[in-house]
């Protein structure tokens, strides 16, 4: 593996030189052997670097972090000979601004929703490639995570859909939803009968946005809000909600004795893109650039995709209802729409969520 060569010791060089050469060798390896990614393209401007004992990253907790540790962080640690310290966060712009204010230069990389990354990039909060004027100048999607409705098997005779999610008369109980307009407004419109293929055509109008908020008004007293994928799963596992939106992998990663308690509505699930960025205060730090170049590479993207359980097993598909036999594709959350409207709709959503 090329990375092992990049970190192979050179017995004739003093310790400091070996570490500097190791960082430079990694840069060359990532650029020539693992080419690709906005951060890799900026790496050639780094001339001298000393790799730190530990790289601190912000990511998400729960099954996502466990999967990353196994297939991304541990292989990188073994090659680089130092640790990656992962801290959970909610991935919001407000949290990023706070982190950069309180802990500048602390974080080497952070995982966030792709639309958050693009907005953060436009606000100058992230390192960008000055030679790249595209939307990928601060990073590119490196993982796609499906969100779907999960419910308590013991409380339903037949599988519910998003319309049933709103039917509190027939199915009394709390509902878990993300405290963010993204995915939440989409779900509201799906529950209101908007076809999957027309979702963003409707949402991209003032009437469509108003329609989504009116639909949410109907459910407001029954909502349990969550901010992170781990929290979404915890609410369901603890019985805090009868049903809720949740990353499918958080449920599929449960031990079989816990997994069997939940059903998943596979139709009309939402696919959310995530990306890795580098905080602006990290500057052109070689170790941060190298790590994100590694994480963005197609090999690592595929490793995470292979390890992250996002679809029903073959056993479930063979024994489940007929609609699982012909599982439709997930609805891709439209990053372009949210790049444009995130600030405006986040403000409206926050005001709506705090109204009494």
Record the tokens describing residue 60, joined without a space. Answer: 């998400």
111 and 230 fall within a common domain:
no
136 and 209 fall within a common domain:
no
pLDDT in tens, the chain (356 residues): 333 333 333 333 333 333 233 333 444 454 334 334 555 544 444 334 455 568 999 999 999 999 999 999 999 999 988 799 999 999 999 999 998 888 888 999 999 999 999 999 999 999 998 788 776 789 989 999 999 999 998 899 899 999 999 999 999 999 999 999 999 999 999 999 999 999 999 999 999 999 999 999 999 999 999 999 999 999 999 999 999 999 999 999 999 999 999 999 999 999 999 999 999 998 888 999 999 999 999 999 999 999 998 877 654 544 454 445 578 899 999 999 999 999 999 999 999 999 86
171 and 295 fall within a common domain:
no
* Residues 6 or more apart whose Cβ sits within 8 Å of residue 102: none
* Residues 6 or more apart whose Cβ sits within 8 Å of residue 220: none
* Residues 6 or more apart whose Cβ sits within 8 Å of residue 197: none
Here the CATH number for the domain that contains residue 200 is 3.40.190.10
Q: How far apart are the first and last CA of the chain?
A: 58
Contact criterion met (CB below 8 Å) for 19 and 2: no
Domain count, the chain: 2
If residue 18 lies in a helix (H) or strand (E), which one and from where to where? helix 15-28
* Backbone CA torsion sign across 271, 171, 181, 216: positive
Domain range for residue 330?
144-272+314-354
Q: How far apart are CA 115 and CA 186, in angstroms?
A: 15
64 and 196 fall within a common domain:
no
Q: How far apart are CA 268 and CA 323, in angstroms?
A: 12
pTM for the predicted model, two decimal places:
0.84
Q: Decide the pairing of beta strands 141-152 and 223-226.
A: unpaired
202 and 291 fall within a common domain:
no
Residue positions counted in the chain: 356
Q: How far apart are CA 284 and CA 276, in angstroms?
A: 15
176 and 68 fall within a common domain:
no
């Amino acid at each position: 593996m090329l990375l092992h060569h990049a970190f192979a010791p050179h017995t004739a060089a003093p310790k400091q030189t070996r570490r500097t050469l190791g960082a430079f060798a990694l840069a060359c390896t990532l650029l020539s052997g693992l080419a690709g990614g906005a951060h890799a393209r900026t790496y050639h401007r780094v001339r001298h670097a000393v790799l730190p004992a530990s790289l601190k990253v912000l990511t998400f907790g729960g099954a996502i972090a466990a999967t990353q540790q196994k297939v991304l962080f541990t292989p990188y640690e073994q090659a680089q000979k130092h640790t990656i310290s992962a801290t959970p966060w909610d991935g919001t712009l407000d949290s990023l601004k706070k982190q950069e204010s309180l802990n500048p230069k602390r974080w080497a990389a952070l995982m966030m929703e792709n639309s958050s990354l693009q907005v953060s990039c436009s606000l100058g909060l992230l390192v960008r490639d000055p030679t790249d004027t595209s939307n990928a100048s601060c990073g590119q999607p490196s993982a796609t995570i499906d969100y779907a409705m999960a419910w308590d098997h013991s409380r339903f005779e037949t599988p519910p859909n998003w319309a049933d999610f709103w039917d509190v008369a027939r199915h009394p109980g709390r509902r878990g939803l993300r405290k963010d307009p993204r995915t939440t407004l989409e779900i509201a419109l799906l529950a209101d009968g908007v076809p999957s293929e027309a979702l963003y055509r409707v949402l991209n109008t003032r009437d469509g946005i108003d329609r989504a908020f009116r639909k949410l008004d109907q459910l407001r007293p029954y909502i349990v809000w969550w901010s992170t994928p781990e929290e979404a799963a915890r609410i369901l596992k603890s019985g805090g909600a009868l049903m809720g939106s949740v990353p499918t992998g958080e449920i599929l990663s449960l031990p079989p004795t816990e997994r069997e308690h939940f059903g998943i509505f596979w139709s009309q699930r939402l696919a959310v893109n995530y990306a890795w960025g580098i905080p602006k205060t990290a500057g052109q730090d070689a170790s941060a650039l190298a790590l994100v170049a590694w994480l963005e590479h197609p090999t690592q993207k595929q490793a995470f995709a292979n390890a992250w359980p996002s679809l029903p097993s073959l056993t479930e598909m063979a024994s489940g209802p007929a609609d699982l036999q012909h599982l439709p594709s997930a609805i891709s959350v439209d990053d372009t729409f949210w790049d444009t409207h995130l600030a405006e709709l986040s403000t409206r959503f926050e005001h709506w969520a705090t109204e009494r």
